[in-house]
Structure 1
Protein backbone atom coordinates (compact mmCIF):
# COMPACT_ATOMS: atom_id res chain seq x y z
CA UNK A 1 0.00 0.00 0.00
CA UNK A 2 1.30 3.43 -0.93
CA UNK A 3 2.22 5.60 2.06
CA UNK A 4 0.59 9.08 2.02
CA UNK A 5 2.97 11.99 1.45
CA UNK A 6 1.79 13.92 4.50
CA UNK A 7 3.02 12.46 7.78
CA UNK A 8 1.54 13.55 11.12
CA UNK A 9 3.58 12.86 14.26
CA UNK A 10 2.03 12.77 17.72
CA UNK A 11 4.69 13.31 20.37
CA UNK A 12 4.33 12.51 24.05
CA UNK A 13 2.17 15.36 25.34
CA UNK A 14 -1.11 16.25 27.00
CA UNK A 15 -3.79 16.47 24.32
CA UNK A 16 -6.74 18.46 25.61
CA UNK A 17 -10.24 17.25 24.93
CA UNK A 18 -11.16 20.75 23.69
CA UNK A 19 -8.61 20.38 20.86
CA UNK A 20 -9.59 16.84 19.91
CA UNK A 21 -11.49 17.79 16.75
CA UNK A 22 -8.52 19.85 15.56
CA UNK A 23 -6.13 16.92 15.93
CA UNK A 24 -8.48 14.38 14.39
CA UNK A 25 -8.88 16.62 11.35
CA UNK A 26 -5.09 16.63 10.89
CA UNK A 27 -5.11 12.84 10.64
CA UNK A 28 -7.33 12.74 7.56
CA UNK A 29 -5.41 11.54 4.52
CA UNK A 30 -2.12 11.28 6.39
CA UNK A 31 0.36 8.66 7.59
CA UNK A 32 0.06 8.52 11.40
CA UNK A 33 3.19 8.17 13.53
CA UNK A 34 2.75 7.81 17.29
CA UNK A 35 5.92 8.74 19.16
CA UNK A 36 6.19 6.80 22.42
CA UNK A 37 3.68 8.34 24.88
CA UNK A 38 1.96 10.04 21.94
CA UNK A 39 0.10 6.74 21.53
CA UNK A 40 -2.25 7.93 24.29
CA UNK A 41 -3.95 10.24 21.81
CA UNK A 42 -4.81 7.26 19.62
CA UNK A 43 -5.92 5.15 22.57
CA UNK A 44 -8.25 7.88 23.85
CA UNK A 45 -9.89 8.11 20.44
CA UNK A 46 -10.05 4.34 19.94
CA UNK A 47 -8.01 4.49 16.74
CA UNK A 48 -4.64 3.12 15.67
CA UNK A 49 -1.54 4.78 14.24
CA UNK A 50 0.28 3.39 11.23
CA UNK A 51 3.45 3.03 13.28
CA UNK A 52 4.55 3.43 16.91
CA UNK A 53 8.18 4.43 17.47
CA UNK A 54 10.24 5.03 20.60
CA UNK A 55 11.95 3.42 23.56
CA UNK A 56 8.54 3.13 25.26
CA UNK A 57 9.54 4.78 28.52
CA UNK A 58 6.40 6.95 28.44
CA UNK A 59 3.96 4.71 26.57
CA UNK A 60 1.23 3.02 28.65
CA UNK A 61 0.58 -0.70 28.70
CA UNK A 62 -1.45 -1.87 25.74
CA UNK A 63 -3.16 -5.12 24.89
CA UNK A 64 -1.54 -7.53 22.46
CA UNK A 65 -4.64 -7.26 20.29
CA UNK A 66 -4.29 -3.48 19.99
CA UNK A 67 -0.54 -3.69 19.32
CA UNK A 68 -1.07 -6.24 16.56
CA UNK A 69 -2.84 -3.66 14.41
CA UNK A 70 0.18 -1.54 13.45
CA UNK A 71 3.94 -1.52 12.98
CA UNK A 72 6.19 -1.10 16.02
CA UNK A 73 9.70 0.37 15.78
CA UNK A 74 11.42 -0.07 19.14
CA UNK A 75 14.64 1.70 20.15
CA UNK A 76 16.80 1.18 23.24
CA UNK A 77 16.41 3.62 26.13
CA UNK A 78 20.13 4.49 25.99
CA UNK A 79 20.54 6.26 22.65
CA UNK A 80 21.97 9.46 21.19
CA UNK A 81 18.73 10.82 19.70
CA UNK A 82 15.33 11.69 21.11
CA UNK A 83 12.30 9.66 20.11
CA UNK A 84 11.04 12.76 18.30
CA UNK A 85 14.16 12.98 16.14
CA UNK A 86 13.96 9.27 15.35
CA UNK A 87 10.35 9.75 14.27
CA UNK A 88 11.24 12.66 11.98
CA UNK A 89 14.04 10.61 10.44
CA UNK A 90 11.64 7.70 9.94
CA UNK A 91 9.19 9.99 8.13
CA UNK A 92 11.97 11.22 5.84
CA UNK A 93 13.14 7.66 5.15
CA UNK A 94 9.60 6.74 4.13
CA UNK A 95 9.35 9.56 1.62
CA UNK A 96 7.37 12.20 3.47
CA UNK A 97 6.70 15.32 1.44
CA UNK A 98 5.15 17.11 4.39
CA UNK A 99 5.65 16.58 8.13
CA UNK A 100 3.34 18.00 10.79
CA UNK A 101 4.43 17.57 14.40
CA UNK A 102 1.81 17.67 17.15
CA UNK A 103 2.62 17.88 20.85
CA UNK A 104 5.99 19.51 20.24
CA UNK A 105 5.15 22.93 21.65
CA UNK A 106 4.99 22.08 25.34
CA UNK A 107 4.13 24.62 28.02
CA UNK A 108 6.61 23.40 30.65
CA UNK A 109 9.41 21.32 29.09
CA UNK A 110 11.18 24.19 27.36
CA UNK A 111 14.24 22.06 26.54
CA UNK A 112 12.16 19.63 24.49
CA UNK A 113 10.25 22.50 22.85
CA UNK A 114 13.48 24.14 21.69
CA UNK A 115 14.88 20.80 20.57
CA UNK A 116 11.70 20.07 18.62
CA UNK A 117 11.93 23.40 16.77
CA UNK A 118 15.41 22.48 15.59
CA UNK A 119 14.15 19.14 14.29
CA UNK A 120 12.83 21.29 11.45
CA UNK A 121 16.43 22.02 10.51
CA UNK A 122 17.00 18.28 10.01
CA UNK A 123 14.17 18.34 7.48
CA UNK A 124 15.66 21.37 5.70
CA UNK A 125 19.09 19.75 5.45
CA UNK A 126 17.55 16.52 4.15
CA UNK A 127 15.64 18.50 1.52
CA UNK A 128 18.80 20.19 0.26
CA UNK A 129 20.79 16.95 0.24
CA UNK A 130 18.07 15.04 -1.62
CA UNK A 131 17.11 18.03 -3.81
CA UNK A 132 13.55 17.84 -2.50
CA UNK A 133 11.15 20.33 -0.95
CA UNK A 134 9.87 18.64 2.20
CA UNK A 135 7.63 20.96 4.20
CA UNK A 136 7.62 20.71 7.99
CA UNK A 137 6.06 22.51 10.92
CA UNK A 138 5.25 22.17 14.59
CA UNK A 139 1.55 22.73 15.11
CA UNK A 140 -1.13 23.07 17.75
CA UNK A 141 -4.58 24.66 17.69
CA UNK A 142 -3.13 28.17 18.13
CA UNK A 143 0.35 28.14 16.58
CA UNK A 144 2.32 26.93 13.59
CA UNK A 145 6.12 27.05 13.77
CA UNK A 146 8.46 26.81 10.77
CA UNK A 147 12.22 27.06 10.31
CA UNK A 148 13.05 28.77 7.02
CA UNK A 149 16.58 28.75 5.61
CA UNK A 150 17.17 30.93 2.53
CA UNK A 151 13.82 30.10 1.02
CA UNK A 152 10.31 31.24 0.14
CA UNK A 153 7.28 30.12 2.12
CA UNK A 154 3.59 30.69 1.43
CA UNK A 155 1.58 31.01 4.64
CA UNK A 156 -2.19 30.95 4.99
CA UNK A 157 -4.07 32.34 7.98
CA UNK A 158 -7.10 34.40 8.94
CA UNK A 159 -7.01 38.16 8.55
CA UNK A 160 -5.72 39.59 11.84
CA UNK A 161 -3.65 36.56 12.81
CA UNK A 162 -0.09 37.29 13.89
CA UNK A 163 3.20 36.45 12.21
CA UNK A 164 6.57 36.65 13.93
CA UNK A 165 10.00 36.10 12.41
CA UNK A 166 12.92 35.38 14.75
CA UNK A 167 16.36 35.69 13.09
CA UNK A 168 18.60 32.68 13.72
CA UNK A 169 21.61 33.60 11.60
CA UNK A 170 24.02 36.53 11.82
CA UNK A 171 22.01 38.55 9.30
CA UNK A 172 18.51 38.02 7.93
CA UNK A 173 16.79 39.95 5.14
CA UNK A 174 13.00 39.78 4.82
CA UNK A 175 10.64 40.49 1.98
CA UNK A 176 6.94 39.73 2.05
CA UNK A 177 3.46 40.64 0.90
CA UNK A 178 0.10 40.36 2.63
CA UNK A 179 0.99 41.78 6.06
CA UNK A 180 -0.07 45.01 7.80
CA UNK A 181 3.42 46.39 8.42
CA UNK A 182 5.96 46.64 5.57
CA UNK A 183 9.20 44.63 5.43
CA UNK A 184 12.08 46.02 7.52
CA UNK A 185 14.29 48.43 5.60
CA UNK A 186 17.41 46.98 7.17
CA UNK A 187 18.82 43.51 7.59
CA UNK A 188 17.96 41.91 10.90
CA UNK A 189 20.60 40.63 13.28
CA UNK A 190 20.53 37.40 15.26
CA UNK A 191 17.91 37.71 18.02
CA UNK A 192 16.47 40.98 16.66
CA UNK A 193 12.87 41.62 17.81
CA UNK A 194 11.85 44.09 15.11
CA UNK A 195 10.00 41.40 13.17
CA UNK A 196 7.77 40.16 15.99
CA UNK A 197 3.96 40.37 15.85
CA UNK A 198 3.14 41.57 12.38
CA UNK A 199 -0.42 40.81 11.26
CA UNK A 200 -2.07 39.24 8.25
CA UNK A 201 -3.73 41.88 6.09
CA UNK A 202 -5.04 39.21 3.73
CA UNK A 203 -5.54 35.46 4.13
CA UNK A 204 -2.07 34.61 2.86
CA UNK A 205 1.49 35.87 3.03
CA UNK A 206 4.37 35.16 0.68
CA UNK A 207 7.54 35.39 2.72
CA UNK A 208 11.10 35.39 1.39
CA UNK A 209 13.92 34.96 3.88
CA UNK A 210 17.62 35.40 3.14
CA UNK A 211 19.33 33.73 6.07
CA UNK A 212 17.80 31.42 8.67
CA UNK A 213 14.80 32.28 10.83
CA UNK A 214 12.05 30.76 12.94
CA UNK A 215 8.62 31.75 11.64
CA UNK A 216 5.60 31.61 13.93
CA UNK A 217 1.96 32.03 12.90
CA UNK A 218 -0.31 32.74 15.88
CA UNK A 219 -4.09 32.68 15.75
CA UNK A 220 -5.67 35.87 17.06
CA UNK A 221 -7.89 35.09 20.04
Structure 2
Protein backbone atom coordinates (compact mmCIF):
# COMPACT_ATOMS: atom_id res chain seq x y z
CA UNK A 1 0.00 0.00 0.00
CA UNK A 2 1.38 3.41 -0.97
CA UNK A 3 2.68 5.86 1.61
CA UNK A 4 1.88 8.83 -0.67
CA UNK A 5 -1.23 10.80 0.31
CA UNK A 6 -3.02 13.67 -1.42
CA UNK A 7 -4.53 16.03 1.16
CA UNK A 8 -7.46 17.92 -0.38
CA UNK A 9 -7.71 21.44 1.01
CA UNK A 10 -10.20 24.24 0.40
CA UNK A 11 -8.06 26.55 -1.76
CA UNK A 12 -8.56 26.87 -5.51
CA UNK A 13 -7.14 24.36 -8.00
CA UNK A 14 -6.90 23.97 -11.75
CA UNK A 15 -7.45 20.26 -12.49
CA UNK A 16 -4.82 20.18 -15.24
CA UNK A 17 -3.33 16.97 -16.64
CA UNK A 18 -0.23 17.74 -14.58
CA UNK A 19 -2.26 17.82 -11.36
CA UNK A 20 -4.22 14.69 -12.26
CA UNK A 21 -0.94 12.90 -12.95
CA UNK A 22 0.47 14.07 -9.62
CA UNK A 23 -2.44 12.63 -7.61
CA UNK A 24 -2.71 9.40 -9.61
CA UNK A 25 -2.00 6.44 -7.37
CA UNK A 26 -2.21 8.51 -4.18
CA UNK A 27 -4.38 7.65 -1.24
CA UNK A 28 -6.38 10.73 -0.29
CA UNK A 29 -7.94 12.51 2.67
CA UNK A 30 -10.21 15.55 2.33
CA UNK A 31 -10.32 18.47 4.74
CA UNK A 32 -13.78 20.05 4.94
CA UNK A 33 -14.57 21.89 1.67
CA UNK A 34 -11.50 20.33 0.07
CA UNK A 35 -13.80 17.41 -0.78
CA UNK A 36 -14.97 19.53 -3.74
CA UNK A 37 -11.70 18.65 -5.50
CA UNK A 38 -12.27 14.90 -5.33
CA UNK A 39 -14.51 14.59 -8.39
CA UNK A 40 -12.43 16.80 -10.76
CA UNK A 41 -9.33 14.79 -9.82
CA UNK A 42 -11.02 11.36 -9.98
CA UNK A 43 -10.25 10.67 -6.32
CA UNK A 44 -12.30 8.82 -3.71
CA UNK A 45 -10.98 9.93 -0.31
CA UNK A 46 -10.78 7.29 2.37
CA UNK A 47 -11.52 9.90 5.05
CA UNK A 48 -13.23 13.29 5.25
CA UNK A 49 -12.15 15.34 8.21
CA UNK A 50 -12.94 18.71 9.79
CA UNK A 51 -15.60 20.79 11.46
CA UNK A 52 -17.65 20.94 8.22
CA UNK A 53 -18.42 24.62 8.67
CA UNK A 54 -17.57 25.41 5.02
CA UNK A 55 -18.83 22.28 3.23
CA UNK A 56 -22.11 23.10 1.44
CA UNK A 57 -25.11 20.77 1.89
CA UNK A 58 -24.94 19.40 -1.68
CA UNK A 59 -21.31 18.37 -1.15
CA UNK A 60 -22.22 16.60 2.07
CA UNK A 61 -25.03 14.77 0.28
CA UNK A 62 -22.94 13.70 -2.73
CA UNK A 63 -20.24 12.18 -0.53
CA UNK A 64 -22.40 10.80 2.27
CA UNK A 65 -20.69 7.41 1.93
CA UNK A 66 -17.19 8.71 2.78
CA UNK A 67 -16.04 7.99 6.33
CA UNK A 68 -15.93 11.19 8.43
CA UNK A 69 -14.17 12.48 11.52
CA UNK A 70 -15.91 15.57 12.88
CA UNK A 71 -14.26 18.16 15.12
CA UNK A 72 -15.71 21.26 16.81
CA UNK A 73 -15.26 24.59 15.04
CA UNK A 74 -13.53 25.99 18.15
CA UNK A 75 -10.23 24.09 18.13
CA UNK A 76 -6.49 24.76 18.20
CA UNK A 77 -5.65 23.06 14.89
CA UNK A 78 -6.83 23.69 11.35
CA UNK A 79 -8.79 21.15 9.34
CA UNK A 80 -5.79 20.80 7.04
CA UNK A 81 -3.47 20.08 9.94
CA UNK A 82 -5.88 17.45 11.25
CA UNK A 83 -6.04 15.84 7.79
CA UNK A 84 -2.24 15.68 7.56
CA UNK A 85 -1.99 14.10 11.00
CA UNK A 86 -4.68 11.57 10.04
CA UNK A 87 -2.67 10.65 6.93
CA UNK A 88 0.48 10.18 9.01
CA UNK A 89 -1.38 7.86 11.38
CA UNK A 90 -2.34 5.83 8.31
CA UNK A 91 1.27 5.47 7.21
CA UNK A 92 1.91 8.58 5.09
CA UNK A 93 5.54 9.48 4.45
CA UNK A 94 4.96 11.49 1.27
CA UNK A 95 2.38 14.27 1.29
CA UNK A 96 0.92 16.26 -1.60
CA UNK A 97 -1.18 19.23 -0.44
CA UNK A 98 -3.78 20.03 -3.10
CA UNK A 99 -5.66 23.32 -2.87
CA UNK A 100 -3.17 24.72 -0.38
CA UNK A 101 -2.30 27.83 -2.44
CA UNK A 102 -4.56 30.68 -3.45
CA UNK A 103 -8.28 30.77 -2.75
CA UNK A 104 -10.22 33.31 -0.68
CA UNK A 105 -8.10 33.02 2.49
CA UNK A 106 -4.51 34.27 2.27
CA UNK A 107 -3.97 33.26 5.90
CA UNK A 108 -4.79 29.65 4.99
CA UNK A 109 -2.18 29.65 2.21
CA UNK A 110 0.39 31.05 4.65
CA UNK A 111 -0.49 28.39 7.23
CA UNK A 112 -0.04 25.63 4.65
CA UNK A 113 3.45 26.89 3.77
CA UNK A 114 4.36 26.91 7.46
CA UNK A 115 2.99 23.37 7.85
CA UNK A 116 5.03 22.26 4.84
CA UNK A 117 8.20 23.55 6.50
CA UNK A 118 7.27 21.82 9.76
CA UNK A 119 6.68 18.41 8.23
CA UNK A 120 9.67 18.62 5.90
CA UNK A 121 11.89 19.32 8.93
CA UNK A 122 10.36 16.23 10.58
CA UNK A 123 11.50 14.05 7.67
CA UNK A 124 8.38 13.88 5.49
CA UNK A 125 8.49 14.43 1.74
CA UNK A 126 5.96 17.20 1.13
CA UNK A 127 4.95 19.54 -1.65
CA UNK A 128 2.01 21.78 -2.50
CA UNK A 129 0.48 21.78 -5.98
CA UNK A 130 -2.68 23.38 -7.36
CA UNK A 131 -2.21 22.56 -11.05
CA UNK A 132 -0.34 25.75 -11.95
CA UNK A 133 1.99 26.43 -9.01
CA UNK A 134 4.12 24.05 -6.95
CA UNK A 135 5.69 24.88 -3.61
CA UNK A 136 8.53 22.81 -2.17
CA UNK A 137 10.17 23.37 1.24
CA UNK A 138 13.92 23.93 1.05
CA UNK A 139 16.02 22.06 3.59
CA UNK A 140 19.63 22.79 4.57
CA UNK A 141 21.86 21.04 2.05
CA UNK A 142 21.14 20.44 -1.64
CA UNK A 143 17.60 20.60 -3.04
CA UNK A 144 16.81 19.56 -6.63
CA UNK A 145 13.43 20.62 -8.03
CA UNK A 146 12.14 19.70 -11.49
CA UNK A 147 10.94 22.64 -13.59
CA UNK A 148 10.10 23.39 -17.20
CA UNK A 149 12.67 25.62 -18.96
CA UNK A 150 11.54 29.24 -18.69
CA UNK A 151 9.21 28.60 -15.75
CA UNK A 152 9.04 31.49 -13.29
CA UNK A 153 10.04 30.72 -9.72
CA UNK A 154 10.68 32.52 -6.45
CA UNK A 155 12.17 31.56 -3.12
CA UNK A 156 9.95 32.69 -0.24
CA UNK A 157 11.94 33.24 2.92
CA UNK A 158 10.66 32.50 6.41
CA UNK A 159 13.97 33.28 8.08
CA UNK A 160 17.36 34.85 7.40
CA UNK A 161 19.15 32.59 4.91
CA UNK A 162 22.82 31.62 5.07
CA UNK A 163 24.91 30.18 2.26
CA UNK A 164 22.23 30.30 -0.44
CA UNK A 165 23.22 29.16 -3.93
CA UNK A 166 20.91 28.77 -6.93
CA UNK A 167 21.88 26.90 -10.11
CA UNK A 168 19.81 26.09 -13.18
CA UNK A 169 18.41 29.61 -13.18
CA UNK A 170 18.55 32.64 -15.43
CA UNK A 171 19.95 34.58 -12.45
CA UNK A 172 22.09 32.20 -10.37
CA UNK A 173 23.42 32.98 -6.91
CA UNK A 174 26.61 31.79 -5.23
CA UNK A 175 26.84 31.31 -1.47
CA UNK A 176 25.07 34.49 -0.36
CA UNK A 177 23.57 35.41 3.00
CA UNK A 178 20.20 37.12 2.78
CA UNK A 179 18.17 38.77 5.53
CA UNK A 180 14.50 37.88 5.83
CA UNK A 181 13.42 41.25 4.41
CA UNK A 182 15.42 40.90 1.16
CA UNK A 183 13.39 40.31 -2.02
CA UNK A 184 16.39 39.32 -4.13
CA UNK A 185 15.01 35.80 -4.59
CA UNK A 186 11.73 36.90 -6.19
CA UNK A 187 10.92 36.33 -9.90
CA UNK A 188 13.68 34.17 -11.30
CA UNK A 189 13.41 31.77 -14.28
CA UNK A 190 14.42 28.15 -14.73
CA UNK A 191 17.22 27.82 -17.30
CA UNK A 192 16.76 24.07 -17.80
CA UNK A 193 14.67 21.21 -16.48
CA UNK A 194 15.99 21.37 -12.91
CA UNK A 195 16.57 24.04 -10.30
CA UNK A 196 19.29 23.29 -7.75
CA UNK A 197 19.20 25.20 -4.47
CA UNK A 198 21.86 24.82 -1.78
CA UNK A 199 21.26 26.26 1.65
CA UNK A 200 23.46 26.23 4.72
CA UNK A 201 20.90 27.53 7.20
CA UNK A 202 17.44 29.09 7.30
CA UNK A 203 13.87 28.26 6.30
CA UNK A 204 12.44 28.89 2.83
CA UNK A 205 10.01 27.56 0.23
CA UNK A 206 10.54 27.44 -3.52
CA UNK A 207 7.44 28.41 -5.51
CA UNK A 208 7.58 27.44 -9.20
CA UNK A 209 5.07 27.97 -11.99
CA UNK A 210 3.98 25.23 -14.37
CA UNK A 211 4.74 26.46 -17.88
CA UNK A 212 1.46 27.00 -19.81
CA UNK A 213 2.54 24.85 -22.75
CA UNK A 214 3.08 21.88 -20.40
CA UNK A 215 -0.26 22.11 -18.54
Equivalent runs, 1:66-145 vs 2, <5 Å: 66-68=63-65, 70-127=66-123, 134-145=124-135
SS of 1:33's equivalent in the other structure is strand
Structure 2 segments unaligned to the other structure (5+ residues): none
SS of 2:182's equivalent in the other structure is coil
Number of equivalenced pairs: 209
Structure 1 residues 173 and 59: CA distance shift in structure 2, 3 A:
same
Shift, 1:123, TM fit:
0.5
SS of 2:45's equivalent in the other structure is coil
- More displaced, 50-59 or 176-185? 176-185
Q: 2:185 maps to which residue?
A: 195
1:217 matched to 2:208? The reply is yes
Structure 1 residues 90 and 159: CA distance shift in structure 2, 3 A:
same
1:171 matched to 2:161? The reply is yes
Asked if structure 1 preserves the Cα contact closer than 8 Å seen for 2:165 and 2:175, the reply is: no
Using structure 2 for the length normalisation, give the TM-score: 0.85
Asked if structure 1 preserves the Cα contact closer than 8 Å seen for 2:28 and 2:43, the reply is: no
Using structure 1 for the length normalisation, give the TM-score: 0.83
Structure 1 segments unaligned to the other structure (5+ residues): 128-133
| CA offsets 1:68-116 (integer angstroms, 9 cap, x no match) | 3x43222222210110111122222323222111111124311111111
Which structure has more relative contact order (CA 8 Å, sep 6+)? It is 2
